[in-house]
Homo-oligomer: A and B are copies of this chain.
Amino acid sequence: MFIPESLLQKEKDHVEGFAPEVAWVTHGGLSPLAERLCVRPTSETLFCDFYSKEVTSYRDLPKLYNQWCSVVRWEKETRPFLRSREFLWQEGHTAHATAEEAKERTELMLNVYARFCEEELAIPVIKGKKTEKERFAGAEATYTIEALMHDGKALQSGTSHNFGDGFAKAFGIQYTDKNNQLQYVHQTSWGITTRLIGAIIMVHGDNSGLKLPPRIAPVQCMIIPIRQKAEGVLEKASEIKDALAAAGVRVKVDETDKSPGWKFSEQEMRGIPVRVEIGPKDIENGICVVVRRDTGEKLEVSIDSLSEKIPALLEQIQKNMFETALAHREAHTYEARSYEEFCDTIQNKPGFVRAMWCGERDCEDKVKEDLSATARCMPFDNNEPIDDKCVCCGKPAKHLVIWGKAY
């Protein structure tokens, strides 16, 4: 968890990027330390130190590690889930014999994250490459997935970095190849964080609370008994629960002594995708009310068909949540061909702006200063030029860039 100050300083760009925002341990017990330790803001230097001792032969490669841990970055402004000083993340680190393998791994992991966001979290993302200014400190290339929140702000939702052999040279990580020649390794790292919980809230939620995508909802269906003290109600609820569980649904009965109305609101707030209401009359008629959290729609479903209908409904909700989020993003993605149009859009239409860029840092700095907006990425898909001039300075354009204000 700790990085000695001297170790953090080994890779020049890396220390410049991170040193201003780390927490420093200066005392152990009652004594001051001889060397300050920073609480890891990310673990590349620790893995590099480890590789430099562990890797000697081509036989030791590739190395592939993953860890779940908390890291600390001393942010000035914080925001729950989206930007906190301590956050839990998953960080993967690899070392490869060749540059090509490292590039493949960087792309592979970006695709893993993109698929996870889209298929499990129902959050559409744009895959692309960061500009040099926005790149991870010490990386040769940073790939990113960018999502749009419901308020039109962008959220960097996962990154995958290709370090080339930069860290290997700074830390002396070399291996003997099959021809007995010393070579530097090529490294990658990649991570996603609990920030994605914020993304789920900000993409899907509404004023009544969370809306959890069914695939990740810990409880997918809550059965709420009406007049639960009446004979047979809890028994029937429990019977339905067993049938749904057998059909693979994560299901619970809310048997607490709260009123049904309170339970409805509470389970809505918690984002449970589907609720089933079951009371004496429903049991008599063999029909109950099923309520979708995503649309609020109420359906009458025969009790006998619940274990067939609910799993299908959950799939439908998952799909609808993704499509709703995608439609929202598309409705809030604009194009700009002049700086005036660009400024007007950024200032008045929250969302993504697609515009051309010359490749110069100066233009990114100007956009940041004028508009507090940043280059989110140079997208991998839909990146046909829409103009031949930079939207900012008018010089020849090099890349289509997705711009936006970000969390």
Q: Please report A residues at the B interface, Cβ cutoff 8 Å.
A: 1-2, 20-30, 37, 39, 59, 68-70, 72, 74, 85-86, 256-258
Contact (Cβ within 8 A) A28 B70: no
With A39-B39, A59-B256, A256-B59 as known contacts, state yes or no: A72 contacts B23, CB within 8 Å: no
Residue pair A70, B25 in contact (C-beta under 8 Å): no
Task: Give bound CA distance, A74 to B23, whole Å.
Answer: 17
CB of A24 within 8 A of CB of B22, answer no
Asked whether, in the complex, the Cβ of A86 is within 8 Å of the Cβ of B24, the reply is: no
**Is A1 in contact with B86, judged by CB distance below 8 angstroms?**
yes
Residues of B within 8 A of A68 (CB): 68
| Complex contact B25–A39 (CB within 8 A) | yes
- B29, A26: Cβ atoms closer than 8 Å: no
Which residues of B have CB within 8 Å of A21? 29
User: Taking the nearest CB of chain B, how far is it from the CB of A35, in angstroms?
Assistant: 13
Chain B, Cβ-Cβ closest to A36: B27
Distance in angstroms from A5 CB to nearest chain B CB is 11
List the 8 closest A-B pairs by CB distance, nearest first.
A28-B74, A24-B27, A29-B74, A26-B26, A23-B25, A21-B29, A1-B70, A23-B28
A25 with B24: CB separation less than 8 A:
yes
18 contacts between A and B (CB under 8 A): A1-B1, A1-B72, A2-B23, A2-B86, A21-B29, A22-B29, A23-B28, A23-B37, A24-B27, A25-B25, A25-B39, A26-B27, A29-B74, A39-B39, A59-B256, A59-B258, A69-B70, A70-B70
- Within the complex, the shortest CB–CB distance from A117 to chain B, in Å, comes to 24
> B28 to A20, Cβ gap below 8 A?
no
Residues of B close to A2: CB separation below 8 A: 23, 86
B74, A39: Cβ atoms closer than 8 Å: no
Instruction: Kindly list chain B residues whose C-beta atoms are within 8 Å of the C-beta of A24.
Output: 25-28
CB distance from A66 to the nearest CB of B (A): 14
Compute how far the CA of A39 lies from the CA of B28 in the bound complex, rounded to whole angstroms.
10
| Cα(A24)–Cα(B2), bound, Å | 12
Closest-CB distance, A102 to chain B (whole angstroms): 22
Tell me which residues across on chain B come within 8 A of A69, comparing CB atoms: 70
- Check A20/B29 contact, CB under 8 A, given A86-B1, A256-B59: yes
What CA separation (Å) do A336 and B24 show in the bound complex?
51
Pick the most buried of A22, A25, A74, A85: most chain B CB atoms within 10 A of its CB: A25
- Assembled-state Cα–Cα distance A70/B40 (Å): 12
A97→B246 CA distance, assembly (Å): 34
A72: nearest chain-B partner, CB-CB: B1
Name A2's closest neighbour in chain B (CB-CB). B86
- Nearest Cβ distance between residue A342 and chain B, in whole angstroms? 33
Interface centre among A1, A22, A30, A258 (most CB of B within 10 A): A1
Residue in B closest to A256 when the chains form the complex, CB atoms: B59
Closest to A86 in B: B1
B39 touching A1 by the CB < 8 A rule? yes
Known: A1-B39, A25-B25. 20 other contacts (CB 8 A): A1-B1, A1-B70, A1-B72, A2-B23, A2-B86, A20-B29, A21-B29, A22-B29, A23-B27, A24-B25, A24-B26, A25-B26, A25-B39, A28-B85, A39-B39, A59-B256, A59-B257, A68-B68, A69-B70, A70-B70
Q: How far is B393's CA from A102's CA once the two chains are assembled, in angstroms?
A: 69
Chain B residues near A26: list those with CB within 8 A: 24-27
Expressed in whole angstroms, the Cα–Cα distance for A68 and B70 within the complex equals: 11
